[in-house]
Copies of this chain bind each other. A is one copy, B any other.
Amino acid sequence: MLTNERHDFILKLLEEKQTIKIQDIVELTAASESTIRRDLTELENRQKLERVFGGAVLPGRNLAEPSVADKSAQNLQEKINLAKFASGFVQHGDSVFLDAGTTTFQMIPFLTEKDLVVVTNGLTLVEALNEQGITTYLTGGMIKPRTGALVGAQTIQSLKNYRFDICFLGVNGFHPDYGYTTPDPEEAAVKKMASSLARKTYVLADHSKSNKVSFAKIMDLEEATLVVDELSADTFEVLEKKTTVKVGKA
């Protein structure tokens, strides 16, 4: 087994079980204890795990890491389907705004090889974008510790330096009377500004957000195109300027 393979194996195992014992890894990999020890030290230096006496645990992260944290979430597969579908709207060479959030995060693997320029206010998206080799700009601003989103006056201001062909937003609720809403007014302001700088805006939401209302209003429903998955799995609804269109699955 290759060194690199073993590292991957350990990380995968750790993600599954949350906690691993050195002796277990030794048995499963048929490598010596010394080697596994070295692996763990190495991976700890890379901040992929934290060592504890007798084994290792997942690293304590302050910023929400969508890739890891959400794996257990119920609607992950739905989000991925939704993200994949929405990625189809992106044209080769587009300038794209990607909102901070888990759904937009899932779009990233589907944006490769499109020669894009992506601007985002989501710290958690950056590493994944880099991995895809996508030219990435980050807005400035204050960091919201829990979510890793950039918000505030500086964010708004730095956004004004860009124009987007296409803009993807996540929301916490959408409602015919109250429009798109999200809990944080600061984030709402950022989303609104980004949208206003884009030729076309798509709001991604799974069906659980339907008719939900949150504290801060972003904008009215008809100001963006809503992409929402159907409960009946493999179709999506695209509500464009109050027009309903049914589409087959991506």
A interface size (C-beta, 8 A): 57
Is A248 in contact with chain B by the CB < 8 A criterion? no
In contact, A19 and B2 (Cβ under 8 angstroms) = yes
Whether A136 contacts B130 in the complex (CB less than 8 A), given A45-B70, A71-B45, comes out as no
- Complex interface residues of chain A between 63 and 96 (CB less than 8 A to chain B): 63-67, 69-72
Q: Mark A45-69, 1 if CB is under 8 A from B, else 0.
A: 1111000111101001111111101
For A154, the chain B residues whose CB sits under 8 A away are: 137, 140, 158, 161
Q: Mark A7-21, 1 if CB is under 8 A from B, else 0.
A: 110111000000101
Closest to A136 in B: B143
In contact, A21 and B46 (Cβ under 8 angstroms) = no
In contact, B11 and A130 (Cβ under 8 angstroms) = no
Query: Complex formed: what's the CA distance from A150 to B120 in Å?
Result: 13
For A5, the chain B residues whose CB sits under 8 A away are: 19
In contact, B67 and A3 (Cβ under 8 angstroms) = no
Whether A64 contacts B47 in the complex (CB less than 8 A), given A123-B126, A140-B137, comes out as no
Checking B3, B63, B137 against A130 with a beta-carbon cut-off of 8 angstroms, the contacting residue is B63
For A60, the chain B residues whose CB sits under 8 A away are: 131-133
Is A185 in contact with chain B by the CB < 8 A criterion? no
Query: Complex formed: what's the CA distance from A63 to B49 in Å?
Result: 12
In contact, B140 and A4 (Cβ under 8 angstroms) = no
Whether A66 contacts B52 in the complex (CB less than 8 A), given A5-B19, A143-B136, A158-B157, comes out as no
- A176 CB to nearest B CB, Å: 36
In contact, A12 and B141 (Cβ under 8 angstroms) = no
For A10, the chain B residues whose CB sits under 8 A away are: 64
Is A177 in contact with chain B by the CB < 8 A criterion? no
In contact, B143 and A62 (Cβ under 8 angstroms) = no
Q: Mark A137-161, 1 if CB is under 8 A from B, else 0.
A: 1111111010010100010011001
- A129 CB to nearest B CB, Å: 8
Whether A12 contacts B63 in the complex (CB less than 8 A), given A4-B57, A54-B3, comes out as yes
Give the most central of A130, A142, A145: most B CB within 10 Å: A130
Query: Complex formed: what's the CA distance from A130 to B161 in Å?
Result: 27
